Amino acid sequence: MSASHVSPSARAANAIDCAESPHPADASVPDGVPSQSAGASAAYVAPAHLARFLSLSDFEPAARRYLPRPIFGYVAGFVEDGTAQEDNRLAYARYGFRPRVLVDVSKREQRITLFGRHYASPVGVAPMGISALTAYRGDIVQASAAQAAQVPCIMSGSSLIRVEEVMAAAPATWFQAYLPGDEAQITALIDRVAAAGVETLVLTVDTPVQANRENNVRTGFSTPLKPSLALAVQGITHPRWLCGTFLRTLIKHGMPHFENNYATRGAPILSKRVMRDLAERGHLNWTHVARIRRRWKGPMIIKGILDAQDALRARQAGMDGIIVSNHGGRQLDGAAAPLQVLPEIVAQAAGMTVMIDSGVRRGTDVMKALALGASCAFVGRPLNYAAAVAGEQGVRHGIELMKSEILRDMGMMGIASLNELNDTFLIERRH
């Protein structure tokens, strides 16, 4: 399925201890119980220890208990007053459904095609920075789970694991680039990413300056991380995270560094250089995009568009796709909810694949986004929590829950194929 499949008008060591007992994601588990998502993926059987996680929202309280407060706060956090984050969910609540009845839905199909690759479902894993602090080898965990579930995964440029290692584990992973400070550095980074085997490049463009993340200060998170008595206490009082994620990483891989901001290794997570490395983006413009487009041979996507005119410029610049996103409400407070502006952006796409993230939590959210013209919806925070709680198995389970919900929702709405879905299935709620 591509963005043009329906006309724009029609669609508008969590269990590990310091002796290195096995992490649930690495351990053999008892025979699982049939998952609710068995209809979405016949080969998937949920491990017994994950049977209590019935929806994506179930992972958050478990992750809150597992992670030190500063780390959990970073993942859960938002910018300033959280208006943009709240609006993301309100935008989905704004719509209800007009289901069709007495339709043969006995053979439903949710597979899609993006940029020539086939995927099992229109849901994917959004890029999430420093995921290796929330789960051991977090970026590899997310990418491997997505590959097993046959859905797209975008690796964050603000990761603590080299892109080459992630691509070796999950070769179809997309890469999200935060472009560095000058032309030579940009070129070198793009060439490195291509040499690593990345086919699909995602440029995130909604971070020209550092956001006002007051919540990070309140929870004790900082970039760089600053050793302190309070941080030490958080580690000691969360021994499963301390031993299963942080110390395990230090022992096996050394101090985490930002590995993919440049062609060369970036600053360690404890270095004062981190802020400088992450702040050099204010000069970037469409000229840089055009140069990268000429150099990049595979599919190229811009992430962070909320304006129809920017969507038009992206199409004119030769982009293959865009991701409508407000960065999960983490950059500009009050930024429009992506679902709210999705129809006008789709109208400018003219064949360019349009995707969405920010606030996607349920299969019904994915259905609403597809009805308004998106081709795929990406999930962020909940899958980060799932990785913290249960590693690769947790992420896989979260993805399969979404696949199961989508398949069930299709039946309830009276459609056998996602190609049938359009905005006539939606109704705006009146409050």
Kindly list the catalytic residues: 327
Q: Among all chains, which residue has been given the structure tokens 């899609």?
A: 112
Do the beta carbons of residue 391 and residue 148 sit within 8 Å?
A: no
Could you give the CA distance from residue 385 to residue 381 in angstroms, rounded to a whole number?
A: 6
The residues, any chain, with a CB within 8 Å of residue 205's CB and separated by 6 or more, are 284, 289, 302, 303, 304, 305
Instruction: Classify residue 192 by burial, with Cβ atoms within 10 Å: 0-12, 13-18, 19+.
Output: middle
Give the rounded distance of the alpha carbon of 147 from its chain centre. Answer: 14
C-beta neighbour count of 264 within 10 angstroms: 10
What are the structure tokens assigned to 177, written together? 């680039």
Reduced to 3 states (helix: H, G, I; strand: E, B; else coil), residue 194 is: helix
Could you give the CA distance from residue 151 to residue 146 in angstroms, rounded to a whole number?
A: 5
Report the C-alpha dihedral over residues 258, 181, 281, 175, rounded to 10 degrees.
-50
Do the beta carbons of residue 289 and residue 202 sit within 8 Å?
A: no
With the C-alpha atoms ordered 141, 143, 147, 150, is the resulting torsion angle positive or negative?
Answer: positive
Reduced to 3 states (helix: H, G, I; strand: E, B; else coil), residue 12 is: coil
